[in-house]
Amino acid sequence: MSPRNSLHDKWQPEEVSPAPEMSTISQGELEESGKAVEKLRDLLGKAHKGEEDAVPKIRQILSERPDLARQFADVARIAEDALIEVMTKDQDLAAKEFIRCQLEAMREELAGKNSSPLERLLSERVVATWLEVQYFEALYAQNMRNLTIPQAEHYQKRLDRAHRRHLSAIRALAQIRKLLKGTAMTQINIADKQINTVG
């Protein structure tokens, strides 16, 4: 297992943004945020070594700054990286990077601008299931010449299940977007009176 596969390594953020809107944050707030990040990084190291006293302190920091949890440990990315490791050779760093960049571009394209948290979550699910489909497709193609009929059926069933999960994720994203669009409120001013309509 390569170092990148280590769960502890996933708790080391490459870049942590103190907040989404930098222009609205004072210098003091930036410094406090930086201190929180450094303290959290130190506590995570202690927890990794088995120091139980670090856990309540980690919980307290994350309760105050829940945005840091995902930046330090994105569970979806951990699962994604695990599959990428399986799909590529250990030393094929270029292939790993190409796949990660492609997936990130897909996530951004699917989510779009000004997307809701739910849309972003479902967009990630679509990308994750797409990756699974590609994996099982490649696995079947690489082995199909040497498979017995029962083995081939087993491979095909795994591929079919992955494909159904992918289509289900796509439908869920389409449905939530339709729902959000259908319940959007539009303001109309008539004779100095504001009327909210469902558009």
DSSP letter string over 32-88?
HHHHHHHHHHHHHHHHHTT-TTHHHHHHHHHHH-THHHHHH--HHHHHHHHHHHHHS
Specify whether 127 is located in the same domain as 53: no
CA gap 147, 152 in Å, rounded: 6
Say whether both 54 and 94 belong to one domain: no
Structure-token pair, residue 185:
């409120």
Note whether 152 and 110 are same-domain residues: yes
Report the C-alpha gap between 103 and 98 in whole angstroms: 9
pLDDT at 71: 66
| Last residue of one domain, picked from the residues 18, 43, 73 | 73
Cα-based distances in Å from 163 to 59, 81, 157: 38, 20, 10
107 shares its domain with 194: yes
Partners of 198 in beta bridges? 185
Considering the domain architecture, whether residues 188 and 93 belong to the same structural domain is answered as: yes
Measured in whole angstroms, how far is the alpha carbon of residue 73 from the centre of its chain? 10
Position 183 scores a pLDDT of: 64
Residue 127's pLDDT is 95
Same domain (yes/no): 129, 105: yes
Is 65 in the same domain as 141? no
Cβ partners under 8 Å of residue 43, min gap 6: 54, 57, 58, 61
**Structure-block tokens of residue 53:** 């006293």
Could you tell me if 115 and 167 lie in one domain?
yes
CB 37 within 8 A of CB 16: yes
Question: How many Å is the maximal CA-CA distance in the chain?
Answer: 76
> Around Cβ 96, how many Cβ atoms within 10 Å?
19
Say yes or no: 136 and 63 in one domain. no
Domain C-terminal end among 73, 90, 121: 73
Of 87, 137, 82, 80, the residue nearest 106 (C-alpha): 80
- pLDDT for 12: 47
Instruction: Provide the domain count of the chain.
Output: 2
The verdict on 97 and 186 lying in the same domain is yes
Q: Which of 38, 73, 108 is the last residue of a domain?
A: 73
Q: Tell me which residue range forms the domain holding 148.
A: 74-199
The reply to whether 135 and 169 lie within a common domain is yes
- The whole model's pTM is what? 0.62
Distance (Å, rounded) from C-alpha 48 to C-alpha 41? 11
Low-confidence stretches of the chain (pLDDT < 70) are 1-33, 70-74, 90-91, 183-199
The pLDDT, as a whole number, for residue 110 is 92
Predicted local confidence at residue 149, as pLDDT: 92
Are 131 and 146 in a shared domain? yes
What per-residue confidence (pLDDT) applies to 45?
84
Taking alpha carbons only, the member of 137, 132, 129, 119 closest to residue 179 is 119
- Residue 187 confidence (pLDDT): 45
